[in-house]
Structures are given as C-alpha cells and as structure tokens.
C-alpha cells in the first residue's frame, strides 16, 4: 500500500473522530469552562489524548498542508479550554 493510500485512510478516520467525538466534547468543555467550571480529571485525560494524537500525526499533517488551518483552529480551541479551565481553577 502506498503512503498516499495510508494517509487517506488515516485522515478519514481522524476526520470522523474529530466530527463525531472530539469536536462535540471540546465544545461542551468550552461551554463548561466559560460557565466557570474547572476541568475534571477525565477532561484532562481527554486533552492529553488529543495532544498525544496530535504529536503522533505531525508528519501526516506536514504531508497534507490543506489540513493546517483546521488543525490550527482545533489547537486554538483546546488552548482556550485549558486557559479558561486554569483561570477558573485559580479563581476558586
């Protein structure tokens, strides 16, 4: 199997996961932290998994610059969640 075929399969799975699981959960987290909540241990594990997966797929994203904007927006979302969660933690 050629690299392009492997990439296509991996990208398909990653996009489905983003659409069906990761993005909806991230949006719920954002709503919670914007409402003053802190991040739970489960939330932190989720964010750690997202980070680890991002690191593991860096070379894939480098080969497909058409995904750079999407990845950047997702990382900004996760950064906002973490920042707000930390602010809420400090405020308590």
pLDDT digits (tens, 9 = 90+) for 28-71: 999 999 999 999 999 999 999 999 999 999 999 999 999 999 99
Q: Report whether 78 contacts 47 (CB < 8 A).
A: yes
Q: Where are the domains of the chain?
A: 39-92
Start-to-end CA span in the chain (Å): 53
The pLDDT value given to residue 12: 95
Distances (CA, A) of 4 to 8, 11, 40, 70, 80: 6, 10, 39, 20, 33
pTM of the full structure:
0.89
Angle at 49 between CA 84 and CA 56, to 5 degrees: 120
């Amino acid at each position: 199997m050629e690299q392009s075929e492997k990439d296509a399969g991996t990208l398909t799975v990653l996009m489905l996961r983003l659409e069906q699981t990761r993005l909806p959960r991230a949006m719920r987290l954002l709503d919670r932290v914007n409402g003053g909540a802190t991040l739970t241990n489960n939330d932190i594990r989720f964010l750690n998994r997202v980070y680890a997966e991002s690191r593991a797929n860096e070379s894939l994203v480098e080969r497909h610059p058409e995904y750079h904007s999407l990845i950047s927006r997702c990382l900004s979302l996760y950064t906002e969640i973490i920042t707000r969660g930390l602010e809420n933690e400090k405020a308590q």
